[in-house]
Amino acid sequence: MNNVLILGANGGIARYAIDLFLKETDAQLTLYLRNASRLRNMDSDRVRVMEGDVLDMETLKEAMIGQDVVYANLAGDLEKYARTIVEAMEVTSVKRLIFINSMGIYDEVPGEKYGSILDAYRKSAAIVESSNLDYTILRPAWFTNKDEVDYETTQKGEPFKGHEVSRKSVAALVVKLAVTPGLEVRHSLGVNKPE
């Protein structure tokens, strides 16, 4: 059985992932977010809700104790978040991190240059990649809300494919990574819908 900590549990991908974890796995979930009242219908004996800010190191460390996987699905000051998450995981000896980032951070999207707009994403990825963690960074294409699981992945260093991907597809990949030991460890994956 996996214990999974979801940081940013009210996010669009996270909500799909929570449903998939509860339907398709026996994982125990800890949902970590700033405002717990935003979560609806969390009546499951496999769910624990914790209110806190990712930058609050003490609360974050408390949430990480006993976890097997940390799945970070955050918006905001990603560089600071990444630094705090990596430090808290090292202190609590949690190794597995799934970190949602952005396509374009390695200038891997053919014909596109995103420039400084992605600096926070680039810096957060560099922090995760320079850690000793068993990380997988996901770099999704533009999100859709289509009710489909249809995706392909590319590795860091390969050209990005496609332009969009459903949130549900990214969530399905997160769940697969969380419950499959060793899958895509220390890799950065582009995620898109096949064209």
pLDDT of residue 34: 92
Q: Is the pTM of this model over 0.75?
A: yes
The per-residue DSSP string of 117-180 comes to: GGHHHHHHHHHHHTSSSEEEEEEE-EEE--S----EEEETTSPP--SEEEHHHHHHHHHHHHHS
Rg (CA), the chain: 16
Domain range for 123: 3-192
Per-residue pLDDT of the chain (195 residues; tens, 9 = 90+): 799 999 999 999 999 999 999 999 999 999 999 998 888 767 789 999 999 999 999 999 999 999 999 999 999 999 999 999 999 999 999 999 999 999 999 999 999 888 889 999 999 999 999 999 999 999 999 999 999 999 999 999 999 999 999 999 999 999 999 999 999 999 999 999 999
Give the Cα separation of 47 and 23 in Å (integer).
Answer: 13
Give the Cα separation of 118 and 184 in Å (integer).
Answer: 23
Which of 44, 16, 18 minimizes the C-alpha distance to 32? 18
How many domains would you assign to the chain? 1
**Which ranges of 66-118 would DSSP assign to H, the alpha helix?**
78-92
Is the CB of residue 161 less than 8 Å from the CB of residue 195?
yes
The CATH code of the domain that includes 41 is 3.40.50.720
